[in-house]
Amino acid sequence: MHDVSKSGETAFIEPLTIINLSNELENLVAEQKAEEIRILRNICSKIRDVVDEIDAEYKTIVHLDVLKCIARFADMMQMESPQINNSDTINLVKARHPLLMLAFQKMGSTQQVVPLDINLGGNNTVMIITGSNAGGKTIAIKTIGLLLIMALSGIPVPADSSSSFSLANNLLIDIGDEQSIENNLSTFSAHISNISEILKRADSKTVVLIDELGTGTDPDEGAALACAVLKEIRKSSALVFATTHLTTIKGFVHRAEGMFNASMEFDHKTLTPLYRLRLGEPGQSYALEIARRYGISDSVIDSAKSLLGGIKVELDNLIADLNEKRAQYENALNELQKQKLEIEEKNRKLEMMLFETESSQKELLAKAYQEASDIIFNIKREMHSLLDEIKKKGREKVREVIKEVERRHKEVNKELENLTKDAAGALSIDEITDGDVVFVKSLGYDARVIEVNQRHNRIKVKAGNIDVEVPVTDIFFKRGKVIEVSTDSAKINRQDKSVSSRLNLVGLRVDEALSLLESFLNQASLEGITEVTIIHGIGAGILSKAVREHLDRHPLAKQFRSGTPYEGGSGITFVTMV
């Protein structure tokens, strides 16, 4: 027997048959515990040797885990990395409170957080936010403070990446009701205690957030004290964001240097806050309207309005009218901006159409010139064939062959005329004025308009020394091909009926000169002229050499010679026709 209960009714016994087994079990349990202690001591001994490394790895893991949490949270909230500045300014672009975003996500609401845009710093360091109750004033300053702490902690913020935060050393706040029976603090005394500490610590590297400034006591005295506090903090160059409902503070801030009002927008038609912050304008509390919305009877509201006083009502009405006009101006401005964007889009489309038209025109010109080149190649081939035929048939068939050449030349000109019309398009007579430079198709050169005859639909132009009257269908946009004719020249004029025996090529390029020379020889042969004179000048000798090489292989030129010193020397060539 091992033991007996206090009543003596129960005895605790161990049968003799299991005593040995029980003792053996106790020994085994003792040995197991001793082994566990030995193993633990061995493990602890090994841990002591690497405890510093384990501690460092633990801190690294925790640090990486924190960074991963920040990254995942930033990705979930679509956060951006802001800029940090030393210029003591805060500029928030599309800022949003992260907890408000999380609340909307948890509710599964499609509603989006209204973004906050704020800029404070430089000459203006104090911003007073006013507006309706439950309009978002406190959330606004909490968003500023929270995002500032996040940015200075190296955490991305739910705002645009262009947002910038001051490198502040202190964030001093007075938000909420901190009354305490235990510390003998009322609502007002708790606020004053916080503000007193703020006044002591505020400097240029401090951001101050104060909610419901001037409340908790007599409105007049509270407003006066609040204005004095703002004036004192302004001297320290700290950045101050404060909210209030007191009209006196709004007026003081409006007049004070370095301070400005801001307001949370409110739709007075639907009596709902819009949660948009507007800079530069004071807001209204809309206390009576909100009270009616939450069930206060109209009789109570009307009684309150009668007790409020005429001046306050008129001031509120004035502010309401100003806000309504501002909204109208904003709508008009938005409409103008919309029209501006539409005009810019139309201009972009017109520029695109113009570019496509120019590209199409270039393609048409390239195609036309290619076809013209093919026609000229075919004509040259036919010309060579005709020249071979001339050599075979002799002089008696020359005139017939030349006439055939002229006929083919006219056909080519007609085809080129059609191609030119397709590629460039003729000018209308209304687009042409005296002094314009245009391309005259029949001349093949640019010329200056000297007279417009709208009655007969004809244009008189001057190309070099030649005055020609042509139909308006012969006029096109200028192409930069200018002909210069001296007073003693006798170049071929397509309007002339007679052909001179002299051709002046001085000043022309080789290709232009040879083109004129070819036509001149054909016309001279048709007129039966036996000898013609080519004036090409001496110069560098390039033009004279090209002319004589052309004459040397030309079938209509029987022979040619240079002029004598009395006739003009090597600057002139006399040609005897076949």
What pLDDT band is residue 418 in, cutting at 50, 70 and 90? low
**Chain-centre distance for alpha carbon 61:** 44
Element holding 264 (H helix, E strand): strand 259-267
- Per the model's pLDDT, the better-predicted residue between 255 and 555 turns out to be 255
C-alpha separations of 427 from 305, 418, 421, 491, 508 in Å: 78, 15, 10, 27, 28
Lowest mean pLDDT among 271-280, 292-301, 397-406, 421-430: 421-430
* pLDDT above 90 (res 43): yes
What average pLDDT does this structure show over 386-407? 63
What is the structure's pLDDT at 417?
57
Q: Which residues contact 312 (CB under 8 A, 6 or more apart)?
A: 247
* pLDDT above 50 (res 206): yes
What average pLDDT does this structure show over 145-155? 93
What is the structure's pLDDT at 515?
78
**Chain-centre distance for alpha carbon 321:** 36
Distance CA 52, CA 64 (A): 18
What is the structure's pLDDT at 486?
46
Structural domains in the chain plus CATH codes:
81-307 (3.40.50.300), 426-485 (2.30.30.140), 486-578 (3.30.1370.110)
What pLDDT band is residue 314 in, cutting at 50, 70 and 90? low
Distance CA 567, CA 578 (A): 23
Instruction: Name the percent of the chain lying above pLDDT 70.
Output: 79
- How many Cα atoms are found within 13 Å in the side-chain-facing hemisphere of 556? 26
What pLDDT band is residue 288 in, cutting at 50, 70 and 90? confident
Distance CA 254, CA 286 (A): 20
* pLDDT above 90 (res 95): yes
What average pLDDT does this structure show over 475-498? 53
pLDDT digits (tens, 9 = 90+) for 537-565: 887 788 888 888 888 877 678 888 888 87
What pLDDT band is residue 239 in, cutting at 50, 70 and 90? very high
* pLDDT above 90 (res 316): no
Three-class SS state of 519 = helix
What is the structure's pLDDT at 329?
82
What is the structure's pLDDT at 54?
93
C-alpha separations of 318 from 130, 314, 324 in Å: 16, 6, 10
* pLDDT above 70 (res 203): yes
* pLDDT above 90 (res 32): yes
* pLDDT above 80 (res 109): no
Distance CA 170, CA 256 (A): 25
- Per the model's pLDDT, the better-predicted residue between 16 and 83 turns out to be 83
What is the structure's pLDDT at 180?
55
Distance CA 421, CA 461 (A): 20
Beta carbons within 10 angstroms of residue 326's beta carbon? 13
